[in-house]
Amino acid sequence: MIGMLQEVGPYLVGNKYKAGDLLTKNPYSWNEASNLLFLESPAIVGFSTDKDYEYHYNDEQTANDAFTAIKDFLQKKAPEFKSRELFVIY
């Protein structure tokens, strides 16, 4: 969560991460100049779950899943971003 909020996100987390400190706006956050989309990789790990025990975890499947997710996002979920430049960082 700290990476999402502080490293690339809109907030700084407290003073040296002390419990109870408030969030403050990060004037240097990436979201000031760009839009970010994070994909969990490979699929069905971390916060994702599935009962498909036949799912194969390998580089080719992960790449195909990522391509499908980005294509679906740009075509169905957020088509307003289709005309913007796309940079893939892994």
pLDDT at 30: 80
pLDDT at 56: 72
pLDDT at 18: 60
pLDDT at 16: 60
Give 36's contacts (C-beta < 8 A, 6+ positions apart). Answer: 8, 30
Strand partners, 40: none
Q: What is the pLDDT along the chain (90 residues), one digit of tens a residue?
A: 666 666 777 877 766 656 666 777 888 888 777 888 888 777 777 666 666 667 777 888 888 988 999 999 999 999 999 998 888 877
> Tokens 């907030």 correspond to what residue?
11
